[in-house]
Amino acid sequence: MDFNDTPEQAAYRAEVRAWLGANAEPRKDRPSVSRRLDAEEGLALAKAWQARKADAGYACRHWPVAHGGQGRPMIETIIYDQEEANFDVPTGFFSIGLGMCGPVMAQYATQEQQARFIPPLMRGEEVWCQLFSEPAAGSDVAGLRTRCHRDGDDWVVNGQKVWTSGAHYSDWGILVARHDSSLPKHKGLTFFFIDMKSPGIDIKPIKQINGGSNFNEVFFTNVRVPDSQRLGAIGEGWQVAITTLMNERLAVGDAPPPDFREVMKLAAACELDGRSALEDSSVREKIADWYVEAMGMKHTKARTMTALSQGKVPGPENSIGKVVSASKLQNVSSFGADLMDMGGVITDPSLMPSDALFQQSFLYSPGLRIAGGTDEILRNIIAERVLGLPGEIRVDRDVPYSDIPTGN
């Protein structure tokens, strides 16, 4: 057992590090560049960065050459991501496109569509969003109501999506809609990709609890989608969606800082009872707990990486990632504010350690426990799919969709 890169990996890592050093700023102990800028500036910067990465051959390196990748082993992508995490580069805008939409297009779209859509997606020239959740269907996304019906060569979509991250700046989206509500819920769904500039799409931003507006309501009124943009067969929408969600769980995982390292720095700079807070055993204990969690995740990833670099399929252990990291972020943020004692409520970056990083993350961390599968749903998945425990008794599976009870 060792942590050494193979000579080839080490050479690649050195090359990546040198390139990043020449092209990006090291990460500092403050909110990342994406959180300091407004969405428009952030997006422009992110597009430029993604293009620069793509030109240098570092974007989606494991994707096939035909899709704009380098056809290299997954491990090189992971090495790049590890190194990039040490730099303050704009992130987030393309994670849905790269993590979910690209792979689903690669699996279900035609060759011509792949050639048309994947390279600009990969280069960040076109932004993609995920139109799954609805007001009455989040955890239970298969319960969605948005309807579609066939009309000549087109489908006509009516209904509403919600929480669609980035819809307001997206060019394309992936959409699941119901073509037949007399079928059981999972059987009546069909999957499309859709031009977000189509007539009949109306996008309304939703304000989040931290004051930002990164997600949206998206309304569809007689929106026409060519049948050629259907992914998978009619009625196969759920299988396609599940493939996408599996990719989502790989794509989301790591929470952004602050983590134990930032708390440790903060503690060293704060006083408790007249001495450095870092000398206080209650503080040391907390930091130790978070270190153990963080290293647990890091080394879980190392196990995944090992499997990947040996060409094996990783085990199920990665499924713990988001449950651990989302709550950790919330707890770390809350504790960081506590360390600043009565002053910990101030949010003005100019008055606060780490430019109020802890206060900012206190307000956005609750979203991470919900987005991309709630803590509860992820625990159900671990219990049922990983541990093999019996599933819930279902009341909604084999009955016509239209007969399933609904609440307010």
Ligand X SMILES: Cc1cc2nc3c(=O)[nH]c(=O)nc-3n(C[C@H](O)[C@H](O)[C@H](O)COP(=O)(O)OP(=O)(O)OC[C@H]3O[C@@H](n4cnc5c(N)ncnc54)[C@H](O)[C@@H]3O)c2cc1C
Query: Which residues contact another protein (rule: CB under 8 A)?
Result: 133, 136-140, 143, 162-163, 206-209, 211, 270-274, 280, 282-283, 330, 334, 337-348, 351-353, 359, 362-363, 366-367, 369-371, 374-376, 379-380, 392, 394-396, 404-408
> Which among another protein, ligand X, none contacts residue 130 (Cβ within 5 to 8 A by kind)?
ligand X
Among residues 84, 134, 248, 293, the one annotated as catalytic is: 248
Token pair of 308 as six digits: 């990947």
Q: Which is nearer to another protein, 74 or 136 (CB)?
A: 136
Shortest distance (Å) from residue 373 CB to ligand X:
6
Q: Measure the CA–CA gap between 294 and 267, rounded to whole angstroms.
A: 18
**Nearest-approach distance from CB 256 to ligand X, in angstroms:** 13
* Beta carbon nearer to ligand X, 101 or 270: 101
70 binds, among ligand X, another protein, none (CB under 5 to 8 A by kind): none
Footprint on this chain of ligand X (rule: CB under 6 A): 96, 129-130, 132-133, 138-140, 163-165, 215, 367, 370-374, 376-377, 380
Min separation Cβ 253 and another protein, Å: 19
Name which of ligand X, another protein, none residue 4 binds, using a CB cut-off of 5 to 8 Å depending on partner kind.
none
Q: How far is CA 311 from CA 1, 70, 73, 74, 234, in A?
A: 17, 17, 9, 9, 34
Nearest distance in Å: CB 383, another protein: 10
Q: Is-contact 245 176, C-beta < 8 A? A: no
Can 248 be counted among the known catalytic residues?
yes
**Cα dist. 333→37, 280, 372 in Å?**
21, 18, 21
Residue 172 contact, options another protein, ligand X, none, Cβ 5-8 Å cut-off depending on partner type: none
Q: Which residues of 296-331 are buried (b: 16+ CB within 10 A; e: fewer)?
A: ebeebbeebbebbbeeeebeebbbbbbbbbbbbbbb
Q: Cite the DSSP H helix spans in 227-280.
A: 237-251, 260-269
334 binds, options another protein, ligand X, none, Cβ within 5 to 8 A by partner type: another protein
Torsion angles phi and psi, residue 270, rounded to 5: -100, 155
| Nearest approach, Cβ of residue 279 and another protein (Å) | 13
Pick what 132 binds: another protein, ligand X, none; C-beta below 5 to 8 Å, kind-dependent. ligand X
Helices assigned H by DSSP within 24-141: 33-36, 39-55, 74-84, 95-96, 102-108, 111-123
Measured from the CB atom, is 246 or 292 closer to ligand X? 246
Q: Which is nearer to another protein, 58 or 335 (CB)?
A: 335
- What is the residue whose two structure tokens read 């219990």? 383
Are the CB atoms for 206 and 160 separated by under 8 Å? Answer: no
Give 191's DSSP letter.
E
CB 346 → ligand X: shortest distance, Å? 25
Give the residues across from 148 on adjacent strands. 157
Catalytic residue list: 248
